[in-house]
Amino acid sequence: MLLRFLILLILAPLVHASDWKNLIDQAPEGSQVALVVEPLSASAPLQIHYRDDRFLPPASTLKLFTASAAELSLGPDYRFTTGLWSRGQQTGGQWHGDWLLEFTGAPDLTRRQLADLLDNLRQRKVREIKGDLLLDTSHFSGYDRAIGWPWNNLGVCYSAPAAALTLEGNCVAASLTSRGDNRPARFFVPAHQPVEVTSDVEAMPPEQMRESLCSLEARLGPGNRYHLSGCINSKREVLPLNFAVNDPFAYGRAVVQQELTRLGIVLRGDIKFGQRDPQWQPVAEVHSAPLGELLATMLQDSDNLIADLTFKNLGALDGQAGSFALGERKLKQILTEQTGIDLTLARMEDGSGLSRDNLVQARQLAQLLRWLAEHPQMISHSALPVSGQNGTLKYRRSTRKPPLAGAIQAKSGTVNGSRNLAGYMDTASGERYVFVLMISGLSLPERMPRPTPLTVFERSLLEWVHANG
């Protein structure tokens, strides 16, 4: 590994004279590389197809497929709707009957919006409900988490469950505060959050943590119960934490009860699951941001929850309850019909790329990028991050400095063992290229020199394309 790193450092200043094949030979030991470089004009000289038929984990580059399919089928003006419905009649301040909240997986639904819906009861002077309040989550079916999501990441917010009842991103902010070496850390979560957390985390000097292989661990219990154990760095005063809601329905039910109490409304029945039928009367609704804005955020920030909720909504287009499996089938159908790309053998277990079971060819990503280049009005094209300027490429070490800064517009993707980049490059000659770089099978030491061998490899290869394209 060290020898490869030294070779790359020597080659980096001479990248313009290097051959791309020699550079690929310097990829991290044991890894697999797939590379596509295609010009968007007939006059450009460079074209590379290196092992582009191999199926590799796409990670978040999969969001290119999700965004394109959603934009083509739902349209950029589509909005997710959350509705309030009633069934019964009012006598004075009493409501004899039931109320229902209908959820459709709005990624940006806030507690404030939910409170605004329930405030319609107060405006009608309803003070007591002699019935139930039903939560309709039937817009989705199946699991809230996709096949292939690693169990040890389920407690963190980038793995938040993609549920019809999604509230505040299904994420809870908390913190651990060090009180000195080898002392218990103090845990804090806001009192209004309906979660239960216990902690026996100890603050330790970093050297002791490394020696004892001690790290922070979170165990998920039933409902929204969590237990924290292990260690945190005692030199860091406050460690922010973000918990993924484990049970979205239980979380939503607790928040609804809190809001009813705040409004002074007494519920005599239960808050439970229910499904709307034609007997229900519409009362009010709130809407998400337009899909175009959500997709732009998804591509810029690589937002997994937006991607997975959008993916499952694709599965609901034919009138069925949306699911990950139906989302995959519908996405493939849409893109095959609209773009001509054959995705038959691709595996897309989710819309975010988080699943370790996802498999895509570099040539399939390149085909989609070429199609998007022919349709530049698509948000899926225009919203891609720009190297050194915004989104996930603003601080990417391999591309944030000249000559690559500002020359690349692309979607990145990283999961354990894989690192990918797919998009467009404006080369030194003024030509614009589609490029896809997929690196898989990575096994790197925890402590490495900076810049890392992977960063040097990626930068060297991309600089060669920039200089020779």
| Structure confidence at residue 191 (pLDDT) | 94
Let me know whether 303 and 429 are in one domain.
yes
pLDDT of residue 346: 98
Residue 99: CATH number of its domain? 3.50.80.20
Q: Is residue 36 domain-shared with residue 178, that is, in the same domain?
A: no
User: Are 178 and 108 in a shared domain?
Assistant: no
Which residues on adjacent β-strands are paired with residue 34? 438
Chosen domain end from 288, 315, 342:
288
Provide the whole-model pTM.
0.94
Contact 157, 244 (CB under 8 A): yes
Does a structural domain hold residue 267? yes
Q: What whole-number distance in Å separates Cα of residue 106 and Cα of residue 306?
A: 8
The number of folded domains in the chain is 3
215 within domain boundaries:
yes
Enumerate the β-bridge partners of residue 187.
176
332 counts as catalytic: no
User: In this structure, is residue 47 part of a structural domain?
Assistant: yes
Q: Say how many C-beta atoms besides its own lie within 10 A of residue 14's C-beta.
A: 10
Question: What was the pLDDT predicted at 44?
Answer: 85
Between CA 107 and CA 72 the distance in angstroms is: 19
Residue 411 and residue 436 in one domain: yes
Residue 10: per-residue pLDDT: 44
Please give the pLDDT value at position 16. Answer: 41
Strand partners, 17: none
For 366, the domain range is 2-76+292-468
452, 321: one domain: yes
Active-site residue, 86 included: no
- Is residue 414 in some structural domain? yes
Same domain, yes or no: 369 and 348: yes
- 50 close to 25: Cβ distance less than 8 angstroms: no
Judgement on whether residues 181 and 315 belong to the same structural domain of the protein: no
Q: What is the DSSP string of 136-159?
A: E-TTB-S-SS-TT--GGGTTBGGG
In a domain, 150, yes or no: no
Tokens of 347: 């595996």
Give the Cα separation of 248 and 344 in Å (integer). Answer: 33
Closest CA to 407 of 456, 457, 466: 466
Question: Are 256 and 300 part of one and the same domain?
Answer: no
Q: Is the dihedral of CA 390, 392, 393, 395 positive or negative?
A: positive
Of 288, 312, 341, which residue sits at a domain end? 288
pLDDT, mean of each 10-residue run, the chain (469 residues):
46 52 94 97 91 98 98 98 98 98 98 98 98 98 97 93 98 96 96 96 96 95 94 95 96 98 98 97 98 98 98 97 98 98 98 98 98 98 98 97 98 96 97 98 88 95 96
| pLDDT computed for residue 18 by the predictor | 55
138 contact partners, CB below 8 Å, separation of at least 6 = 164, 275, 321
* Catalytic-role residue among 60, 178, 288, 355: 60
DSSP per-residue letters across 160-214? ----SS--GGGEEEEEEE--STTEEPEEE--TTS--EEEE--EEE-HHHHHHHT-
Is 21 a known active-site residue? no
- Do residues 180 and 130 share a domain? no
pLDDT of residue 233: 96
* 16: in domain: yes
262, part of any domain: yes
Catalytic residue among 63, 312, 330, 332: 63
Q: Are residues 308 and 428 in the same domain?
A: yes
Domain harbouring 454, CATH code? 3.40.710.10
Q: Which two tokens stand for residue 9?
A: 């450092």
87 and 205, same domain (yes or no): no
State the DSSP string of 68-105.
HHHHHHT-TT---EEEEEEEEEEETTEEEEEEEEE---
Catalytic residue among 86, 288, 302, 418: 302
187 shares a domain with 92: no
**pLDDT score at 447:** 82
Q: Is 357 helix (H, G, I), strand (E, B) or coil?
A: coil
Say if 87 falls within a structural domain.
Answer: yes
